Structure 1
Amino acid sequence: MSPQETPRSRPYRPSRPPSAFARRLVRGTGTDGVVDELRGVILSGEATPGMPIPLDEIAQVLGISPIPVREALKTLVGEGLVDHRPRGGYTVARITMAELAELYVVRGVLEQAALAAALPLATPADHEEARAAHEALGRALEEGDVPGYHRASRRFHLALVAPARMRRLQGMLESAWNVTEPYRPMSQLSDEGRAGLHADHAGMLAAFEAGDAAALLTEATEHHEQLRRAVAALPGDPALFADP
């Protein structure tokens, strides 16, 4: 070690191939962004439920001590994104199939409430953001980009509820969405199935821009029914789902 080099400032030079979780981190994130960085990896869909989260290796990659990593992981445990077992370490959270189905019901109920509040307050800028998100959905569908489709779908749904300016309601919706995100049920659908969901999105966008509350809520309800059917059809992989 050079006189100017401290353990925390040394570049990360792994002695063995990085773990599956660590490969997805942005090196040098630092202490302030560690929660967002770890949450981002989980919500990206690349960190599957049950994947180990190696605390010490993450600290090395990010160039920080293990203490803020541990605190960040505790925060994510509270958000339902990470599991922790004494002497068992941290892993990406797993839930049961029944819990996943229940969370989609919760998402549907919360989104209905947020949409009803958002529609009368939507501005031309809100319409523009919803259109841009919908266009991103279309591009991802055409390119067969399933991760991109998931990202654009989330962006689209949140664009529709953003005008409500109801921070707590929107926070609850995003929290429920976050817990379901690692399971990516839309990735199990055929191209035809995703095209059907995209048609739902087009109907939702048209109703949103027209200010038609009844049509928007009807389209959203039908869309969530399709999502719930997709969740029900997921294989019960014991590596991904917690025991009931």
Structure 2
Amino acid sequence: MPAARRPSTLIARLQCDRTTRSQAAILAELRRVILEGGVAPGTPIPVDQVAETFGVSRIPVRESLRTLIGEGLVDHRPHSGYLVAQLTVEEFKGLYTVRGVLEKAALASAVELATPADDAVAVDALAALDRAMSDNDFHGYHVQSRRFHLALVTPSRMRPLLGMLESAWNVTEPFQPMAHIDQAQRGRLHAEHRAMLDHFVARQAAALLAVASRHLDHLDTSIAALPVDTGLFTEPDGDTGSPPHRPRPDGRRGVPS
């Protein structure tokens, strides 16, 4: 008898019912699982098993995966198939640099345009970060950190810029870097979050940008210290004899022809 197939980590995390059989729903669910960070970069995505899980043919699954390749969340490699996208160390650090530039540009506008309703969203986001810190919930801290930063930049209403920022953020999300830094670094970054909120609510643009710059510098330092031998990162040549898809300035990757 042939050996039973072992379900992949990704398959085990998929949630589906009769309402998740459309291509749009399949795409959304695959994106959710990858962005949650519970499926490590480099994890294979078995098309047949995904199709079986959703009760559909391979066609909508493949189309969804092609879309995710365009978003930088999935790679396709000859002889290996589809897998959760990996980055080289330099690509990963470069995307954080891009994120920092985009975020500061959005903050400069957001602090001038923010309303009391925007303030309330940011205050609530910081409260969620506080709870994650108190509970030593490192994964939760990573998730809520993104929510907080987006709460500060969304009032800019600069949709193209915010779209590029979200794309760059998504590509780095499966690596969960905030879950891997030490508690001292996390504490320093969290104190800066509180200072950023104080200046945001007070509409102190210059002070907000000064703290944001220090925060991003400290974040870059934390990222640079992350271990690179965990299997999350790929070598510059992609280990396949061909170069990996390089992120574009908006954080996306090319779709294979």
TM-score, scaled relative to structure 1: 0.91
Whole-angstrom CA distance in 2 between matches of 1:53 and 1:17: 13
Matches within 5 A, 1:12-91: 16-28=5-17, 29-31=20-22, 32-91=24-83
Paired position in structure 1 for 2:253: none
For the aligned residue pairs, the C-alpha RMSD in angstroms reads: 1.3
Paired position in structure 2 for 1:8: none
**Which one of the candidate residues 105, 110, 115 is aligned to 1:118?**
110
Does the CA-based 8 Å contact 1:50-1:94 persist in structure 2? yes
Note the alpha carbon deviations across 1:170-206, whole angstroms, 9 max, x for none. 0000101111111122222122221111101001100
Note the alpha carbon deviations across 1:119-166, whole angstroms, 9 max, x for none. 111011100000000000010111111111111111111111111111
Paired position in structure 2 for 1:100: 92
1:156 matched to 2:148? The reply is yes
CA 1:238–1:139: 2 relative to 1, 3 Å: closer
Question: Could you tell me which amino acid in structure 2 is paired with residue 135 of structure 1?
Answer: A
Gapped runs of 5+ residues in structure 1? 1-14
Whole-angstrom CA distance in 1 between matches of 2:120 and 2:6: 44
**Which one of the candidate residues 174, 178, 189 is aligned to 1:186?**
178
Whole-angstrom CA distance in 2 between matches of 1:30 and 1:161: 34
Deviates more, 1:184-193 or 1:143-152: 184-193
How many Å apart are 1:239 and its aligned residue?
A: 2.0
Note the alpha carbon deviations across 1:75-110, whole angstroms, 9 max, x for none. 111111110013321011111111111111100000
Does the CA-based 8 Å contact 2:108-2:209 persist in structure 1? yes
1:233 matched to 2:222? The reply is no
1:141 matched to 2:162? The reply is no
1:21 alignment partner, SS class: helix
Does the CA-based 8 Å contact 1:129-1:159 persist in structure 2? yes
1:91 alignment partner, SS class: strand
2:232 alignment partner, SS class: coil
Whole-angstrom CA distance in 2 between matches of 1:173 and 1:216: 19
**Which one of the candidate residues 169, 179, 196 is aligned to 1:177?**
169
1:52 alignment partner, SS class: coil
Q: Aligned pair count? A: 230
Deviates more, 1:186-195 or 1:130-139: 186-195
Question: Could you tell me which amino acid in structure 2 is paired with residue 110 of structure 1?
Answer: L
Note the alpha carbon deviations across 1:28-85, whole angstroms, 9 max, x for none. 2222311121111111111111011111111111222221111010011111111001
Does the CA-based 8 Å contact 2:35-2:170 persist in structure 1? yes
Does the CA-based 8 Å contact 2:141-2:179 persist in structure 1? no
Whole-angstrom CA distance in 2 between matches of 1:188 and 1:240: 12
Does the CA-based 8 Å contact 1:44-1:147 persist in structure 2? no
**Which one of the candidate residues 167, 192, 195 is aligned to 1:200?**
192
Question: Could you tell me which amino acid in structure 1 is paired with residue 143 of structure 2?
Answer: R
Identity %: 55
Does the CA-based 8 Å contact 1:103-1:180 persist in structure 2? yes
